[in-house]
Structure formats: structure tokens, C-alpha cells
A and B are shown apart, each in its own frame.
Chain A
Amino acid sequence: MSRTSLPLPSDRKKIIRQNTGDVTDKHSRTRRSVLWRWANTLGPLFGLALVTGLFALSEELRPIFFTGGNAKLILTQTVIVAIGALGMTLVIVGGGIDLSAGSVVALTSVVAASLLVQSVPPVLVFFLTVLTGALIGLINGSVITLLRMMPFIVTLGMMGIARGSAKWLGNNQTVNPEANGLNRIMEPENPLELFPLPTGVWIAVFLAIVTMMVMRHTVFGRYVFAIGSNEDTARLCGIPVQRQKILIYTLAGMFFGIAGVMQYSRLTQGDPTVAIGLELEIIAAVVIGGASLNGGSGSIMGTMIGALIMAVLKSGSSQMNWPTYMQEIIIGVVIILAVALDRFRQSKMDR
């Protein structure tokens, strides 16, 4: 009998504690909570400053690290993770997870390349590629909601399916189309200056702003938070939970499709073996940005900063000539630290 099954008295105890606490320290608690909520937004930004500041300590790195050209490089390298992380933020805030992100990026990049090989106009290629991503998301979302399966399992399966399909479509090789408009999205025109930034960076910024508005200021955005926070409550409040969840995964797939176009553009070829493990990098960005894997919390701003933190870490460590295994260890530590801080903050708030 390890579990007590009479919830009432312990419940009551908690409530009583709340009630008595309410009178005496309500005010200070409120102030504290406002402070912590600020920490929520500022935390990742502080992390970014910290990481950048650490690299600034190195005398030899400073002159090459703090240049317009390097900033452009970092921003360009962030684009794929950042766009993928926009979709992943939707999914994670909505209480789910999508492990197929990396494979979908690879598949859609091959789709883009294959269509270009067929001389489909680049603009149409862009739309069809994004549509492919959306379609995969639609399948993910439908299976998860209609068959009531765990998102982890379904998207794990889709991870294999998409990867396999990419290899199939590319005949197990890279697909190399002729030079075309899509190739230029991620192209740094003047590698030594910050501006002009590649179109891809502007697309990522634009998408981030739109997604931020959607999350904050639309009914759909509030529903995502509600579903991730407590699905039972969402149902009680008349939110069409299934439809919304399918929509969430479809939108996420769409973002992965856009990331796939970026991936193609960066390599100017469709490579079915690219972006392995990208989904974990994307999830890491979302989590470093302050989202909880339990759902119901997270922000686009946080996620974007999370993605930047990882890019800065990578760029900095490679310019310090640290071996890649060192980068991996550092990023691992940062993920754990970020979430540990988040836990700490939550436990403060629960008190």
C-alpha cells in the first residue's frame, strides 16, 4: 500500500496552507512571482550574454569572434534550427513532442531538389516542399489524436518513415539540381560584412515574429497553451482539442518543410542523410528557451534565443579550435543547466 488513495485530507491540508499563507505574505509572494516571470523571459537572454561574454574573455578570439562577418555566419547557421524550433515550440507548448523533425527536414530538402531537377519553377517548389512537410505533420497529428497514441511513439515512427522515404526518393544519393533561385536563400553575399543578411535569415525573423503574434494574440495561440496546460480543462471549456492538435502538428510540419528548403539551399543539393539528430538540437533550443516538456509554457522569443545560444556555442568552440567532442559536451551541460534553472524557478513559484 504505497499509494494513499484518499485524496481529501491531504488536499485539504494544502488548501489550508494556501489560505493561511494568503493573508500574511500574499503581497510579497505576488511581487516575487512577477520577478520570476521576468526571469522567465530574461533567463535565456542572460544565458546568451553569458555564453558570448565567455568567448570574449579570450584575447585571441575577440578580434575574429566579434565581427560582422562572424555574426552573419552564426545567424545563417541558426536559420534551420530556428525555423524548425518555431514548429517545435508550438508542439511542445501544446503538450506534445515531434521527433520526426530532422528526418522531415532531410526529406523535404530532397523533395525540393528532386522537383528542381524536374525543372519545376522555384517558387512552386517552395510551396510544394512546404506542403510536403505539412502533409507529414497532418499524418502525425491525425494518428496521435484519432488513434490516441503517444506523440513520442508516432513521431519516432515517422522519423524512420521520413528518413527512409528521403533515401528512397534520392535513390540513396544526393540530388543535385542546376543553379536556381532557391540556392541563393542561404547564400552570404558579402561574407565579411554583417549586411546584407541572407534572405533565409530574414525569412526566419519574419516567421518568428508571425509565430510570436500567433502564440500571444490569437485564439489559436491561447488554445495551444490551454491544451498543453491541461487537456481536460481545454475539453471542459469547449476547445475542439483533436482538431487543434492536428492543426498544431500540421503547422509544425510546415515549419519543418520550410527548414527543409533552407537545408537544401545551404547545401544547394538534396541530401537524404543530412540533419540526423537535428530534432534533438531543435528540442534543445526550445527547452533552453524556457519551454516545459510538460506543456503549457514556452515562448518564441525564448526559443529563438535558445537556438542562438547553441549556434554561438558551436561557432565559438570551433573558432577556439576545441575538438567537436568538446562542443558536444558543452552543449549537453548547457541543456541540463538551463532545465535545472527552470526547475528551480518552478519550485520557487509553487511555494
Chain B
Amino acid sequence: MVLSSLSDSGVATDPSVPRLRMARVAKSFGATQALRGVTLEVAPGEVHTLIGENGAGKSTLMKILSGAYRADEGTIELDGEPFVPRGPLHARDSGIAMIYQELNLVPDLTVEENIMLGEEPRRWGVIQIQKLRSRARAALDQLEHAEVGLSTPVYQLGIAEQQLVEIARALIRQPRVLIMDEPTSSLTQVDVERLFLVIERLKAQGVSVIYISHFLEECQRVCDRYTVLRDGASVGSGELASASLDQIIRLMVGREMKAIYPRIEHALGEPVLSCRDLRGRNKPKSVSLTLRRGEIYGIAGLVGAGRTETLRTCFGLDAVRGGVIEVGQEVRTRTTPRERLRQGVGLLSENRKEEGLLLNQSIADNLTLTRFEPFSRGGFISRSRQVAVTQEWIEKLGVRTAGPGQLIGELSGGNQQKVAIGRLLHHDASVLLFDEPTRGIDVGSKAQVYRLIGELAAEGKAILFVSSYLPELLGVCDTIGVMCRGVLQEARPVSEWNEPDILAVAVGQEENH
């Protein structure tokens, strides 16, 4: 159906003309150059994988293609014709379809209503049910998944079926290029296989697919060609069949370690936090680790590997389904954040704005929220002493602010993060769970955070450090463990790791072969 309609509308299907060609695409946000000259070429009916580390620019590139952002420089051609997406609607109407990592379905509407959402056939404003149903059916048939009930509400479907609905919805608009962003991240192995069959069919129908996934071995199975992005530039592309995983990983990493990681001498002491076979509701599936006094323990892994969930489970925010957590000498597995804080465990949320801070409250309140005791008596707070204590932290941490009374939402990201860390320091937590502590802050602040982490370890605090940015883990940590699909795979001293090895474990290369 797609094929026929494509030729109906007179679009060239000559295989020598690329379906999509993006050349020298550049994009910057303020002072940050997100993309600096990316070239991407996809043939009709080709499945092309876009590979790169977190922050390499894949999402930005795809957002430019799908019209969410406008490129600063460079050209895009669709089937040989220049294409400048004026916006998401224009891109969609031009045949660019995108399926996001998180599905965008309306749970209470039925499958057919979701598939046809925004494209309802209508006459005098009334939806023509029969027509709607037959077109939805046609789209699902095209995926050869006729078993999905058209009138089932979407919330009753499993993740994999929801994804099918999403793909069917994209097919309604007869896409020329279908972008799939991490389509397998929440699928089971069986569903992944079924998705691959769907991709094969789309391919046979002449649809070009851009497939983004962290799981390289998946890409090898389903994709024809690859393009690797690194630091906003395309650094290599070719046939997947003739490339080894090692080669690709080297292309992804390929940078020098920078000297912004101060090494501050610190000694390791007795264990302060240990987990044995910890299991959460969904993730983590199995985590065993021992964190010592004075240790900086890094947890590497891909987005969705279960690192954040591990920290949250340790902190009592997420439910524990199995295993044991021991803090100091105290075995206490199922507990609350309040209890953990009492034990001297603190969590720095990866999500500063949504969870980490009270954006419309003052710096003083944010910084001292977990421990008012030093300046309160019988439940009454001495505001002047609270302000004085806050002022001390502001100076110690180098927070740039008008004063302790300023609302935290008015600070820059780096300064907000310093206050969030300051809260844990004011609480005098001895076990610090840091989730992406340098996310979204500028380089200068990052270096300050690294130094601070080193100093804290030297003071004898223990730090569990989750990060998606490998250089900082390698630069700061004593020990690094790698998570893959909910399991903490292995931990080694940092000297025994390098980036390609970590990536290899993170993408599950060893596990699957």
C-alpha cells in the first residue's frame, strides 16, 4: 500500500537517488555547538542506524529532520529535492515520521482512534466510522499484526502492541522516512524479534528507516548501514556487514581524556553500604555492590539500564522486591527516604527541576530542608541563624547568588546543583548517592563538582556516582561497575577499565555472545 501510494504521488523510487541526504548540518544552542557538520545519507528501503554516545547529537539531528528545530547551516534533500522543514507538521506531511522512545498514544481512545488521530475521515465534521476503521485495519494489516483489536482501548495493550499502534499511526501518513528512537528499550526479547520482522516488511515496502539504538548488536542484525556521530559531527559511516563492533565503538569514543579531573588522594575504609542481589519492581534486576568509606564508586551503563532505579531503591524511594541492603552495620532493606537520611544516606536526584529542588522556595529553605536542627529548638526555627548557616555554605560551595533568600529557580543550572549538593553536605550525609550530578551544567561548574567529589571522598564520605558520561567516571572514580538491562554486570578498579570495554559491557556484547 505504501509502495503503491508512493508511486502514485510520483515520488521517484530510483535507488541511485538517496531517499534522504543531510549534508553539513550544524546547529548551536547559545554558546554550545550541538551539531558541527553532520552528513547522513539513507537510500530508499534502507534501514540506517545512527550511532553515538549520549549527547553526541543524534536527537538534535533527528529533531531537525522532523521539524522541531531548524538547522543553522547545511542542506537536506528528500528524494533529490531540497527540503527545509518549516515545522513538525510540514515534516510530517512531507513524509517524515518519528516514533519516540516514550510512546505518544492516548490511553483512553481505541486502537483505531489512535491510529487515525488527527487524520479522521470526516464529512460535515462527522467522523466516518467505517472509513476510519478500514484505513486503520489496512495499516495494521500492512504490519501483518491483524490480531490487535481495533476497538480495544490502548491502555489495555502491552508495550509492544502499543508500539505497533504507534507504527501503524505513522504508516497512515505514508512516510518516506521513519525514525525510530530506541524502539527496543522497553521491549522483551520476543517482542524485539517481532519488531524486527515489522522493520523488514517496511523495508520491503520501500520505507527508509532511521534506527537509533544503544544496543549495537541489534543494529547489526536489523540495519544495513550506519553513521557514527561524535561530539556533534559524523565521524564515519558504511556497511554494517563489513564493520566490527570494536571498530564502531572506537569511532564512538575516539577522544582524549581531558585534565579537568583533579586527583585528590583518599584512602578506602570499611564498607558503609552494601547491596546483595537487590531487586526492584522492574529494575534493578540484580545489583550487588559494596561501597567503602572514602570510595568513589561509579556506575556506568546506557539510558534505561536501571542505574537511577538502583540509587532510588537504595534510598527507599522505589520499592524493593528482593535482596538485602546494609547501611553501616544496620541491615535495613525496606525503608523510607526519611529513615535513610537518618542513617546518613543522601540522594542527589538526576532530575533537579522536577524532583531535586523546590524551585519557588529560597536557597536557605532548599539547602537546609532535611536538617533544621542546628538552628531550631522545639520546632521553632531561628531564621537569622538559618540564613547565616546558608551563607556559609554559599561561600564554601561558591554559589553565585544575591543571597540566601533568593528563589532557587532564579539561579543557573550549575548553581542550583551546588545548592542541591549543599543540602546533602549540610545534612552531613556520609553515603552520597549522586545521580548524574553534572547533567545540564556548564564545564566550569562540572570541574568544581569533580573537585568537590574528590574532597568529599578525602573526608571519608562514600560516593555512588551514576553518570552517562564515561570520561568523568574514568576521571573521578576509584571503582566502576557497569549495568546492562537491570543487572550490575561487573565492577573493577578504574585502572582496569577503558571506554571501549565499558561500552562493550554496557551494550551487552559479552552477555549475548
Q: Which residue of B lies closest to A233 (CB)?
A: B358
Instruction: Tell me whether B360 and A236 are in contact (CB under 8 A).
Output: no
Instruction: Tell me whether B365 and A226 are in contact (CB under 8 A).
Output: yes
Contacts of B31 in A (CB 8 A): 16, 20
Instruction: Tell me whether A230 and B181 are in contact (CB under 8 A).
Output: no
Contact of A33 among B34, B369, B382, B407 (CB under 8 A): B407
Contact of A236 among B59, B88, B349, B359 (CB under 8 A): B349
Contacts of B401 in A (CB 8 A): 30
Instruction: Tell me whether B410 and A349 are in contact (CB under 8 A).
Output: yes
A interface residue count range (under 10 / 10 to 19 / 20 to 34 / 35 or more): 35 or more
Instruction: Tell me whether A13 and B29 are in contact (CB under 8 A).
Output: yes
Instruction: Give 20 A-B contacts (CB < 8 Å), ordered by A residue.
Output: A6-B59, A12-B29, A12-B34, A18-B412, A19-B30, A19-B412, A22-B411, A30-B401, A217-B383, A219-B379, A225-B361, A226-B365, A229-B359, A230-B357, A233-B358, A237-B341, A238-B338, A238-B341, A296-B361, A350-B409
- Nearest-neighbour CB distance to chain B for A40, whole angstroms, equals 11
Contacts of B381 in A (CB 8 A): 217-219, 222
- Nearest-neighbour CB distance to chain B for A349, whole angstroms, equals 7
In Å, the complex CA distance between A236 and B411 comes to 21
Instruction: Tell me whether B63 and A6 are in contact (CB under 8 A).
Output: yes
Instruction: Tell me whether A222 and B372 are in contact (CB under 8 A).
Output: yes
In Å, the complex CA distance between A15 and B34 comes to 14
In Å, the complex CA distance between A229 and B408 comes to 12
Q: Which residue of A lies closest to B28 (CB)?
A: A16
> In residues 351-395 of chain B, which contact A (Cβ within 8 Å)?
354-361, 365, 369-370, 372, 376, 379-383
Q: Which residue of A lies closest to B361 (CB)?
A: A229
- Nearest-neighbour CB distance to chain A for B164, whole angstroms, equals 16
| B307 touches A (CB below 8 Å) | no
Instruction: Tell me whether A229 and B358 are in contact (CB under 8 A).
Output: yes
| B81 touches A (CB below 8 Å) | no
| A2 touches B (CB below 8 Å) | yes
Contacts of A337 in B (CB 8 A): none
Nearest 7 A-B pairs (CB), nearest first? A30-B402, A238-B338, A16-B30, A238-B341, A229-B358, A5-B102, A22-B412
Instruction: Tell me whether A217 and B370 are in contact (CB under 8 A).
Output: no
B interface residue count range (under 10 / 10 to 19 / 20 to 34 / 35 or more): 35 or more
| A146 touches B (CB below 8 Å) | no
Q: Which residue of B lies closest to A29 (CB)?
A: B410
| B60 touches A (CB below 8 Å) | yes
| B101 touches A (CB below 8 Å) | yes
Instruction: Tell me whether A232 and B355 are in contact (CB under 8 A).
Output: yes
Instruction: Tell me whether B365 and A6 are in contact (CB under 8 A).
Output: no
| A216 touches B (CB below 8 Å) | yes
Contacts of B338 in A (CB 8 A): 238-240
> In residues 16-49 of chain A, which contact B (Cβ within 8 Å)?
16-20, 22, 26, 29-30, 33-34
Using a CB–CB distance below 8 Å, which chain A residues touch chain B? 1-6, 8-9, 11-13, 15-20, 22, 26, 29-30, 33-34, 216-220, 222, 225-226, 229-230, 232-240, 296-297, 349-350
Contacts of B372 in A (CB 8 A): 219, 222
Per DSSP, chain A at the interface is helix
Contacts of B55 in A (CB 8 A): 8
Instruction: Tell me whether A12 and B32 are in contact (CB under 8 A).
Output: yes
In Å, the complex CA distance between A233 and B342 comes to 17
> In residues 417-446 of chain B, which contact A (Cβ within 8 Å)?
423, 440-442
Instruction: Tell me whether B365 and A225 are in contact (CB under 8 A).
Output: yes
Given contacts A1-B104, A2-B104, A219-B379, 16 further A-B contacts (CB under 8 A): A1-B92, A5-B101, A8-B59, A11-B440, A15-B441, A18-B412, A19-B30, A216-B383, A217-B380, A217-B383, A218-B381, A226-B358, A235-B337, A237-B337, A237-B370, A297-B360
In Å, the complex CA distance between A12 and B57 comes to 12
- Nearest-neighbour CB distance to chain A for B289, whole angstroms, equals 22
Given known contacts A12-B29, A233-B358, is B414 in contact with A238 (CB within 8 Å)? no
Contact of B355 among A218, A226, A233 (CB under 8 A): A233
- Nearest-neighbour CB distance to chain A for B115, whole angstroms, equals 13
Contacts of A234 in B (CB 8 A): 358
- Nearest-neighbour CB distance to chain A for B499, whole angstroms, equals 21
> In residues 25-50 of chain B, which contact A (Cβ within 8 Å)?
29-32, 34
In Å, the complex CA distance between A77 and B457 comes to 62
Q: Which residue of A lies closest to B365 (CB)?
A: A222
| B68 touches A (CB below 8 Å) | yes
Contacts of A236 in B (CB 8 A): 317, 337, 347, 349, 355-356
| Binary A-proximity of B478-506 (CB < 8 A = 1, otherwise 0) | 00000000000000000000000000000
Instruction: Tell me whether A232 and B354 are in contact (CB under 8 A).
Output: yes
- Nearest-neighbour CB distance to chain A for B97, whole angstroms, equals 8
Instruction: Tell me whether B358 and A238 are in contact (CB under 8 A).
Output: no
In Å, the complex CA distance between A119 and B68 comes to 74
In Å, the complex CA distance between A33 and B405 comes to 11
Contacts of A220 in B (CB 8 A): 379
Contacts of B342 in A (CB 8 A): 238
In Å, the complex CA distance between A236 and B339 comes to 11
Instruction: Tell me whether A9 and B30 are in contact (CB under 8 A).
Output: no
Q: Which residue of A lies closest to B99 (CB)?
A: A1
Contacts of A350 in B (CB 8 A): 409
In Å, the complex CA distance between A5 and B100 comes to 7
Contacts of B88 in A (CB 8 A): 1
Instruction: Tell me whether A219 and B337 are in contact (CB under 8 A).
Output: no
Instruction: Tell me whether B30 and A17 are in contact (CB under 8 A).
Output: yes
Instruction: Tell me whether A16 and B355 are in contact (CB under 8 A).
Output: no
- Nearest-neighbour CB distance to chain A for B232, whole angstroms, equals 12
| B413 touches A (CB below 8 Å) | yes
- Nearest-neighbour CB distance to chain B for A292, whole angstroms, equals 8
Contacts of B101 in A (CB 8 A): 5-6
Contact of B440 among A15, A30, A233 (CB under 8 A): A15
In Å, the complex CA distance between A267 and B474 comes to 76
Contacts of B337 in A (CB 8 A): 235-238
Contacts of B376 in A (CB 8 A): 219
Instruction: Tell me whether B414 and A226 are in contact (CB under 8 A).
Output: no
Most chain B CB inside 10 Å of its own CB: which residue of A15, A232, A235, A349: A15
Given known contacts A1-B100, A30-B410, A235-B317, is B32 in contact with A16 (CB within 8 Å)? yes
- Nearest-neighbour CB distance to chain A for B245, whole angstroms, equals 26
Instruction: Tell me whether B413 and A238 are in contact (CB under 8 A).
Output: no
